[in-house]
Amino acid sequence: MNKGDQANSNPHLFNTSVIYQLPFGEGRQFLNDSGVLSHVLGGWQVNAFFTARSGTPFTVTASTASLNAGGGTPQTADQISDPEILGGLAPYFDVTAFRPVTQVRFGTAGFNTLRGPGTANLDLSLFRTFAIGQARTLQIRVEALNATNTPHFSNPAANVSNLQLNPDGTVRNLNGFGVITSTNRLGRQYDEREFRLGLRLTF
């Protein structure tokens, strides 16, 4: 990505859902003889929801000391080369492509020029609905959120002023710069695989 380019702030999103009635039980292809197995295995519905999205943009920042500004004044780093996305956790991108700003000026890096890790997530569920009389139904739900237990990583820390270099320009200590230390819960309580059991009574 060239210096000054700005990543599209809207992530690219793909999602699809599948609903599948298991072929067992009355009116189905298998075990349709009204036997015990027909009643036990019949009527189940499998649901799958898959989502994939590109990562969110972020800005490589620097200390505002060169501007003699305090508070939350934003300051971008100096960009000295095109940063390569390495894809690891420490570091996620080529940290040597940026430098702190040591003069009284703004940094040369643009805003939102890098994009964090993308995410892919699969939720699965198993439903069965029982008729209770003529006007009520009871639905049993077994859900597995993030069924593959895939970690979804957050953006890396992006303050270049934390970076320590050797005299030859090699990295001596990242001090967290470019390092991913957390996961993205995708709006849920946990990022790890989560099982939920539920009952739904309709009347």
In a domain? residue 7: no
User: Burial level of 115, CB count in 10 A (0-12/13-18/19+)?
Assistant: buried
Give me the pLDDT at residue 126, please: 94
Give me the pLDDT at residue 71, please: 56
Give me the pLDDT at residue 4, please: 41
pLDDT in tens, 15-30: 899 998 888 877 777 7
In a domain? residue 98: yes
In a domain? residue 162: yes
In a domain? residue 149: yes
Rounded to an integer, what distance in angstroms lies between the CA atom of residue 67 and that of residue 21? 63
Rounded to an integer, what distance in angstroms lies between the CA atom of residue 47 and that of residue 126? 6
Nearby residues of 137 by Cβ (< 8 Å), 6 or more positions away: 129, 130, 131, 201, 202
The string over 43-73, giving b where at least 16 C-beta atoms fall within 10 Å of a residue's C-beta and e elsewhere, is bbeeeebeeebbbbbbbbbbbbebbeeeeee
In a domain? residue 2: no
Domain that holds residue 94: 13-202
Give me the pLDDT at residue 72, please: 58
In a domain? residue 80: yes
**Encoding tokens for residue 147?**
């069924």
Give me the pLDDT at residue 174, please: 95
In a domain? residue 8: no
Q: How many domains does the chain have?
A: 1
In a domain? residue 1: no
Segments of the chain with pLDDT less than 50 = 1-5
Threshold 0.85, pTM exceeds: no
